């Protein structure tokens, strides 16, 4: 067996990030401790200090840092490029594509790298379950130490606070020079297994609502990116785009508080201290200064505003979503019908062209036969020259015409 088959499988993680200064150091410190062979990071023109933090890690050789200056929401292109480089530049056997608010966790005492290396090399990708993690409602800053609740809300509970559903799974895919990663990192061009093999436990803990300041910036960034790129069409159930509409209407903040309220969500949260424990194990991540947690001073008033108006807005938005979905279905059916008609017309056009070609060929053949027959008659008359002088010209022409008519039937 060759040396390449005996070496330890290589695991590479990719990250595209923009304005995540509150959490990026914790994310890097944690994942750098997880036995990965390389982390490739692309900064998307951050303006909040994220870029400077990343450059510090890159200067120490801890990450491969790239820069993508365009705010055009083309994550799939950038991540696909990093995923391919993971294979071509770092010989990755496995690639994990992450966001900065996603922590990939394994059972205590294991490392993420070794868990991934134990996956069967079948050419398949593996879906990784994602759970949202909940902490206290903050005006600004971050408090991962209090992020100790896991979101297990039912669909009805999610709907009540303006959320569509739980996060889509993440993915671990094989290294490949022509891999394609879909927008959002949830799917790739590699075939996908039904789930992780028995005995291998990998999860992603997602921290999307760290503070009002952070979430408002994220919603604004996403909404403006889609507005400036009309060729990119978010799903009608894209909750961030709905939040963007509510933000512009100055009513998103009550929903933000309601989503994190134990009183509103009841049994929709269960205790899960894994984020708090991993944070506490990383001493370099203790946040002070601009990232020190600041409680939301008007949380009670905002919660009262939500209870008064929130359910009405949810119902209105639900009707809007259903109407948009219906219109999109109608548009799709209309486009399909138009495509079918165009295909039918194309086939008819091709058939007409074919018949015209056949007719032209037949007419050409007939003309050639007539010329040959005329030539034969002339040759016969030349051979019997005495007839020319005895037969009237009208008779000769009549004979030629009669002979032609015979050839047509």
Do residues 148 and 272 lie in contact, with contact meaning Cβ atoms separated by under 8 Å?
yes
Q: Which among 255, 277, 292 is the end of a domain? A: 292
Q: What's the structural domain count of the chain?
A: 2
Distance CA 50, CA 340 (A): 50
Could you give the CA distance from residue 176 to residue 188 in angstroms, rounded to a whole number? 11
Domain match, 131 and 28 both: yes
Residues 377 and 273 in one domain: no
This prediction's pTM: 0.76
Establish if 113 belongs to a structural domain.
yes
Q: Does residue 319 lie in a domain region?
A: no
Both tokens assigned to 390: 């005895």
The neighbouring-strand residues paired with 269 are 151
- Same-domain status, 130 and 203: yes
Same domain, 75 and 193: yes
Say if residue 115 is in the same domain as residue 39: yes
Give 103's strand partners: 205
Per-10-residue mean pLDDT, the chain, length 409: 68 97 96 98 96 97 96 90 98 98 96 97 96 97 96 95 92 97 92 96 97 96 85 67 91 96 94 95 61 94 93 77 54 71 80 84 82 74 63 61 57
318 domain-assigned: no
What does the alpha-carbon distance between residue 257 and residue 263 come to, in Å, rounded to a whole number? 11
Closest CA to 271 of 149, 154, 151, 152: 149
> Which pLDDT does position 129 carry in this prediction?
97
Nearest to 125 by CA among 75, 205, 189, 79: 189
What are 105's two structure tokens?
């966790």
Q: Which of 253, 248, 251, 259 is nearest to 224 (CA)?
A: 248
* Angstrom distance (rounded) from CA 173 to CA 126: 6
CATH of the domain at 73: 3.90.550
Q: Is residue 344 part of a domain?
A: no
* Residues 283 and 361 occupy one common structural domain: no
**DSSP 8-class letter at 131:** E
Who contacts 112 (Cβ-Cβ below 8 Å, separation ≥6)?
11, 31, 34, 35, 36, 104, 105, 106, 202
Is residue 186 located within the same domain as residue 278?
A: yes
87 with 195, same domain: the answer is yes
In a domain, 377, yes or no: yes
Q: Three-state SS for 245?
A: helix
Q: Are residues 97 and 166 in the same domain?
A: yes
pLDDT score recorded for residue 387: 58
Per the listing, tokens 């309220």 go with 261
First to last CA, the chain: 79
Q: Which of 277, 292, 307 is the endpoint of a domain?
A: 292
In a domain, 302, yes or no: no
Q: What per-residue confidence (pLDDT) applies to 3?
A: 45
**Hunting for tokens 């209407």 — which residue is that?**
249
Count of CB atoms situated within 10 Å of the CB of 386 = 8
Tell whether 187 is covered by a domain: yes
Do 291 and 167 contact (CB within 8 A), yes or no? Answer: no
Note whether 286 and 393 are same-domain residues. no
Nearest to 291 by CA among 101, 137, 143, 135: 143
Do 67 and 171 belong to one domain? yes
Q: Which long-range contacts (CB under 8 A, 24 or more apart) does 112-117 make?
A: 112/11, 112/31, 112/34, 112/35, 112/36, 112/202, 113/11, 113/34, 113/35, 113/36, 113/37, 114/35, 115/200, 115/201, 115/202, 116/9, 116/11, 116/172, 116/202, 117/8, 117/9, 117/11, 117/93
In a domain, 328, yes or no: no
**Domain membership of residue 113 as a residue range:** 6-210+267-292
Per-residue pLDDT, 94: 98
The answer to whether residues 81 and 196 belong to one domain is yes
Beta-bridged to residue 42, according to DSSP, are: 16, 66
Per-residue model confidence (pLDDT) at position 319: 60
Could you identify the residue written with the tokens 């894994």? 274
């Amino acid at each position: 067996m060759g040396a390449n088959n005996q070496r330890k499988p290589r695991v590479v993680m990719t990250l595209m990030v923009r304005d995540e200064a509150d959490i990026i150091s914790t994310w890097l410190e944690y994942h750098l401790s997880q036995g990965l062979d390389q982390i490739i990071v692309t900064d998307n023109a951050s303006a909040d200090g994220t870029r400077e933090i990343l450059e510090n890690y890159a200067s120490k050789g801890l990450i491969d840092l790239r820069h993508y200056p365009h705010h055009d929401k083309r994550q799939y292109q950038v991540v696909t490029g990093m995923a391919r480089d993971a294979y071509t530049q770092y010989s990755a056997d496995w690639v994990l594509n992450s966001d900065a608010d996603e922590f990939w966790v394994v059972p205590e005492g294991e490392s993420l790298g070794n868990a991934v290396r134990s996956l069967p090399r079948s050419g398949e990708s593996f879906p990784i379950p994602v759970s949202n993690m909940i902490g206290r409602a903050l005006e600004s800053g971050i408090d991962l130490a209090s992020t100790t609740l896991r979101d297990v809300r039912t669909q009805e509970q999610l709907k009540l606070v303006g959320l569509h559903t739980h996060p889509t799974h993440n993915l671990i895919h094989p290294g490949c020079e022509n891999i394609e990663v879909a927008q959002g990192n949830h799917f790739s061009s590699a075939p996908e297994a039904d789930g992780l093999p028995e005995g291998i436990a990998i999860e992603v803990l997602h921290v999307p609502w760290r503070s009002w300041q952070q979430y408002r910036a994220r919603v604004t960034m996403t909404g403006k990116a889609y507005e400036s790129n009309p060729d990119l069409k978010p799903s009608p159930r894209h909750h961030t785009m709905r939040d963007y509409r509510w933000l512009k209407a100055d009513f998103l903040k009550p929903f933000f508080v309601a989503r994190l309220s134990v009183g509103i969500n009841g049994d929709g949260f269960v205790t899960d201290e894994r984020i708090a424990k991993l944070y506490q194990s990383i001493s370099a991540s203790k946040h002070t200064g601009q990232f020190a947690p600041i409680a939301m001073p008007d949380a009670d008033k905002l919660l009262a505003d939500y209870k008064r108006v929130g359910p009405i807005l949810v119902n209105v938005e639900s009707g809007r979503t259903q109407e948009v979905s219906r219109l999109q279905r109608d548009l799709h059916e209309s486009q399909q019908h138009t495509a079918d008609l165009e295909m039918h017309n194309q086939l008819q056009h091709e058939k007409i062209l074919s018949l015209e070609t056949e007719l032209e060929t037949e007419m050409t053949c007939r003309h050639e036969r007539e010329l040959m027959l005329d030539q034969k008659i002339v040759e016969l008359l030349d051979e019997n020259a005495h007839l020319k002088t005895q037969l009237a010209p009208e008779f000769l022409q009549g004979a030629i015409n009669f002979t032609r008519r015979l050839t047509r039937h």
